[in-house]
Amino acid sequence: MDAKGKAVPALVDALNRFEGDSDAYSYLTSPLLGRSNYQERYVFVYRNKKTRMLDSYKYEDNHPDRPDVFAREPFIVRFSLPTKELPELVLIPQHTVPSKAETEIDALYDVFLNVHAHWGIEDMIFLGDFNADCGYVAKKRWGNIRLRQKPGFHWLIGDKADTTVRENTRCAYDRIVVHGERCLDAVVPGSAQAFDFPKEFGLSEAEALEVSDHYPVEVELYSSCWRLQPTNLGGLILLALAIVSGTKYEI
């Protein structure tokens, strides 16, 4: 809970004290999203030296066939990247409502069409807590979900992944979905995964649950087509994922 909006500025200030001015971070927050008492923001943290935020907009959830699908509308951000092979990238985070997970994931295809028409960009990453497993999306229902069935979408976090902290659950709720050949070519093979932060930092389950009941999901991108060395674009991508998947704002 962060009704006063102090958590993200404090996080970025701490990062910048650690990194110094030469590699400083900036951040972008969405407006409050949601129509009930419970609302959320999406947050993007990125290195000024590595990338620029070019544009952003909130998806207007008014598709003529299915208006008002999303409990929290997607907030779409366009970034420039320091590589000729992938000069621009669009990030589209989404936290679905569990009871509407199938419908909302399917409707992300309409968001894709909207972004493509708006900016003419193919390279996009959809990411976040889709609630895309276990009791919320049955295996037999995946055939009805366009984001899964349409060609060109690559699900980097698979159905067998576990993105939950609790030992008694094993569900692939959180996903990363890539579209665009340049974006797919930039992905370091095997880098998309859930980050087991309790194991990494030696936390008990109870301690970890004070942070989040989900693992962040992450992916690494190459900095050039020659693939000599992965880039620190993780400073953009990984932090955005971690915050989108693990931080919620309740009013």
Q: pLDDT confidence of 246, banded at 50, 70, 90?
A: very low
Q: Using the 8-state DSSP alphabet, how is residue 136 labeled?
A: T
Task: Point out the residues that are catalytic.
Answer: 40, 95
- At 48 the three-state DSSP class reads coil
Mean pLDDT of 194-222: 94
Provide CB contacts within 8 A for 71, sequence distance 6+. 34, 35, 36, 96, 97, 100, 104
- Domain limits at 43? 7-246
Say if residue 208's pLDDT is above 90: yes
Residue 233 pLDDT > 60, yes or no? no
| Mean predicted confidence (pLDDT) in 207-219 | 94
Confidence of residue 154 (pLDDT cuts 50, 70, 90): very high
Q: Which of 163, 249, 162, 165 is nearest to 209 (CA)?
A: 165
Mean pLDDT, the chain, whole residue set: 86
**What pLDDT sits at residue 235?**
45
CATH of the domain at 196: 3.60.10.10
Q: Which of 26-30, 113-117, 205-209 has the lowest mean pLDDT?
A: 26-30
Q: Is residue 251 part of a domain?
A: no
pLDDT digit string (tens) for 79-126? 998 888 899 999 999 999 999 999 999 999 999 999 999 999 999 999
Look at residue 2 and tell me if it is in a domain: no
**Does any domain span residue 241?**
yes
- Quick check: 188 and 176 in contact, CB under 8 A? no
218 within 8 A of 241, measured Cβ to Cβ: yes
As a whole number of Å, the CA-based R_g of the chain is 17
Least reliable range by pLDDT among 17-21, 105-109, 177-181, 197-201: 17-21
100: phi > 0 → left, psi -120 to 50 → alpha, else beta; which? alpha
19 within a domain of the structure (yes/no): yes
> Please, which residues bridge with residue 174 across strands?
129
Tell whether 226 is covered by a domain.
yes
Number of independent structural domains in the chain: 1
**How is residue 169 annotated by DSSP?**
-
Mean pLDDT score, 205-227: 84
Please report, rounded to a whole number, the percentage of residues in the chain having pLDDT higher than 70: 88
Query: Which phi-psi region, left, alpha or beta, contains residue 48 (left: φ > 0; alpha: ψ -120 to 50)?
Result: alpha
In a domain, 199, yes or no: yes
